[in-house]
Structure 1
């Protein structure tokens, strides 16, 4: 009898611990590519984090947004055909910690981005609008920094899996002082700004960069500060050159 009870517990436990999925539309998120969804998406993230964690799932469509802050125990899942589209107005971006991004997080745990969808920065249009504002003297110094697509700082347990990232205004991803970070099967394509690399790692620990393709005008990867316990496998740039740790 005890063996039967143990078997039942073993089979039930994975299901009880599995992440709960929440359709983004439940929180009023629109997929028309026109509605600015920043508040609705943030509402979904906050709700999921406050209720035990889970995945905020986006299905086929274009979801316009400004900066959203990812919270502990929440994963954003972009199904194939789902595109998270960055706003073309710099006024729709802010930062969590020190990094301005479409998806940002500071001091959070067990967070991630998954699925075969796309995060699209509309970097060329954003840069044009920023330059126009700057020429007219309307852009404050605090708003001149180009937002990245993903910007995480001081986070633990970060998983970026299978997503496609394109058309950033500056760097595509920035990870600052994160621990247990995994980036796997990701495609990065962004050629708007030669000054910025594809991924910036700043003093992170326990990093895995696996099966990833990075096509940018600048350096594919930039390592700043100490890089501890780093694993890079089957990751290449647009020329087919393997990416390694070069500080």
Structure 2
């Protein structure tokens, strides 16, 4: 199919049965059912059950200054802050507070019942010495391995909160520089696929194997790596965070909020400016992710703003455990690289399904909707160059090199995606959706899309897509090209 888009005015693509002159029998059979499914998808019943179900109840106050913390911004005060946290937990929970000032610290570990509150005028400064972040067992970029703890950690805990109008400045620039230097060295050796795992950089805030956790109101700056990572957790609320990672540069892989093999998660009222995916859902990578096999599911993301970054909302590329039951609505993207992004690789496996994306506006994004099952091959596929002995490799190298067997387990699937009420202006491309012969992009339903872009784009290897009231406008009148696809209802 070749849809010619006239220049300087809207081409209305009314994808209804009565408005298409050429229909196949499969098209006519599929369209009514998909319309019913779309209508029923607008508010999934599970969406009211996400987020933290409890908040720390203790009211006793534990000032870190009473435990020896100094607010001069230069004295490492990790131990004093940790003493206040431990004392609060030992006495049944309560508030850990700070007098105004700057506090230099390494990794801190929150405990059950603790509410860490950073009031206005309080800044936590992350140490720039990697030795101040002890290594822990965790998962990073889809792979379980030893890795530095985050600046703020909620590990194996319940009923924890981190809130306030204060700032967490991770001071991550030295970790960015280290990464870029190592990447240049590794790329010359054919090791692009492992450099992100060898360049150990601390995350800013990690919630792992935890439940009933609330993160609210903070401003987070200059993450060394990912900013907020919710891993193997349930019933977490992330509310009103402001993330500013493009401070004094543009750090690599400084994701905003990553939800990773977790469930019953609520993210709302957040404003993210970063240098990689802004709001991202993940579930493990390749052999290791398939071994763990834990999905991300029951997630609501709403009333959020994405500025610079790789994707307003991204699914993948770590898809091995599956991503399903997601509702994202009332979102904005301003200058973001990609708007709605689905990405995986042919060794990842997993299924992304039952995704509902509603009421979204975009201004000056790269591509409005992108889907690919063969994302970034130099990073996605692991091949050991000559000159290395397998037996002497680090464990995480061996995990990355372990093949997925049978190979069919590594083929990802994207299906049952519902996109409605999207307004996009000044985009580079409208749609870039490319599946493969072995895994077609299945049952994407687009309803009420109004897009202005330089190029219309491409749909390749898709099946069962439906379009209702979709308008695309391009400056040059190029074509939206659909190839190797079937049962497309318009």
Give yes or no for the alignment of 1:121 onto 2:158.
Answer: no
Distance 1:43 1:97, change over 3 A: farther
1:148 alignment partner in structure 2:
203
CA shift for structure 1 position 169: 1.1
Q: Distance in 2 between matches of 1:73 and 1:158?
A: 10
CA shift for structure 1 position 144: 3.6
Q: Distance in 2 between matches of 1:64 and 1:124?
A: 15
1:149-178 CA-partner distances (Å, limit 9, x unpaired): 101210011100101100111111111111
1:170 alignment partner in structure 2:
225
Q: Distance in 2 between matches of 1:19 and 1:114?
A: 14
Distance 1:193 1:142, change over 3 A: closer
CA contact (8 A) 2:61 2:96 kept: yes
2:263 alignment partner in structure 1:
205
CA shift for structure 1 position 105: 2.4
CA shift for structure 1 position 217: 1.1
Distance 1:162 1:31, change over 3 A: same
CA contact (8 A) 2:65 2:99 kept: no
Which of residues 110, 119, 125 in structure 2 aligns to 1:70? 110
Give yes or no for the alignment of 1:231 onto 2:300.
Answer: yes
Which of residues 65, 69, 85 in structure 2 aligns to 1:29? 69
Q: Counterpart of 1:170 in 2: which secondary structure? A: coil
Which of residues 133, 138, 141 in structure 2 aligns to 1:93? 133
Q: Counterpart of 2:151 in 1: which secondary structure? A: strand
TM-score, normalising length: structure 2: 0.43
CA contact (8 A) 1:116 1:164 kept: yes
1:138 alignment partner in structure 2:
none
Distance 1:34 1:130, change over 3 A: farther
Q: Counterpart of 2:333 in 1: which secondary structure? A: coil
CA contact (8 A) 2:241 2:269 kept: yes
Alignment of 1:125-136 (within 5 A): 125-128=174-177
Give yes or no for the alignment of 1:222 onto 2:271.
Answer: no
Higher relative contact order (CA 8 A, sep 6+): 2
Give yes or no for the alignment of 1:241 onto 2:333.
Answer: yes
2:9 alignment partner in structure 1:
none
Superposition RMSD in Å: 2.7
CA contact (8 A) 2:106 2:151 kept: yes
Q: Distance in 1 between matches of 2:203 and 2:105?
A: 13
Gaps of 5+ in 1: 1-16, 136-140
Gaps of 5+ in 2: 1-56, 139-146, 185-195, 284-294, 309-331, 343-351, 353-490
1:56-115 CA-partner distances (Å, limit 9, x unpaired): 112310000001111111121000010010001111112454262101121111112100
Q: Distance in 2 between matches of 1:206 and 1:71?
A: 21
Q: Distance in 2 between matches of 1:175 and 1:32?
A: 31
Q: Distance in 2 between matches of 1:24 and 1:105?
A: 18
CA shift for structure 1 position 245: 8.9
TM-score, normalising length: structure 1: 0.83
Q: Distance in 1 between matches of 2:87 and 2:252?
A: 39
Q: Distance in 2 between matches of 1:44 and 1:96?
A: 22
Give yes or no for the alignment of 1:48 onto 2:88.
Answer: yes
1:195-221 CA-partner distances (Å, limit 9, x unpaired): 342121111111110100011111102
Q: Distance in 2 between matches of 1:56 and 1:104?
A: 15
CA contact (8 A) 2:178 2:199 kept: no
